[in-house]
Amino acid sequence: MNGQQIEFIADTSAVIRLCRGDEKIAGEIHGKNFAVTFVTMAELVVGVLKSNKPEAAWARIKEVLRGQKIIPVSPATPNIYARIYVDLEKNGTLIPVNDIWIAALASERQLPILARDKHFSRIKNLTVITC
């Protein structure tokens, strides 16, 4: 990163589209500073381990994410995660656990999420940029 403010968090679905050369999403994020979460990195590594060409897959991920920040968990993140989880559960609208973690990290930092998954819109006070 070049020291500028992070504009959004890219969900795993967005990073995968970037890695696959999706021109639409590449155009949307060109020149913008974004971050990914530790969860997205873990999901991407799972994909690398399952790949027929893991070295090439890892090289592409590193190329796409070069210079972008990886957001870790803070002491406050588990509380935010728990509140989101309980709210979704009460409403009968649970989403995948990994996505709740990503949403918690975005909420904590007051950043929008760039994602293909529409279920992020179920989370109160979270801005979703659909790609």
- Domain-wise residue ranges, the chain: 8-130
Q: What is the CATH number of domain 8-130?
A: 3.40.50.1010
**pLDDT tens for residues 31-73?**
889 999 999 999 999 999 999 999 999 999 999 999 899 999 9
* Confidence label for 28 from pLDDT (cuts 50, 70 and 90): confident
Instruction: Report the pLDDT value the prediction gives residue 10, as an integer from 0 to 100.
Output: 96
pLDDT tens digits for range 76-117? 999 999 999 999 999 999 999 999 999 999 999 999 999 998
Cα separation of the two ends of the chain = 22
DSSP string, 44-94: HHHHHHH-SSHHHHHHHHHHHHTT-EEE---TTHHHHHHHHHHHHHHTT--
Give the global pTM: 0.91
Residue 36 φ/ψ, nearest 5 degrees: -125, 160
The C-alpha atoms of residue 24 and residue 76 are separated, in whole angstroms, by 35
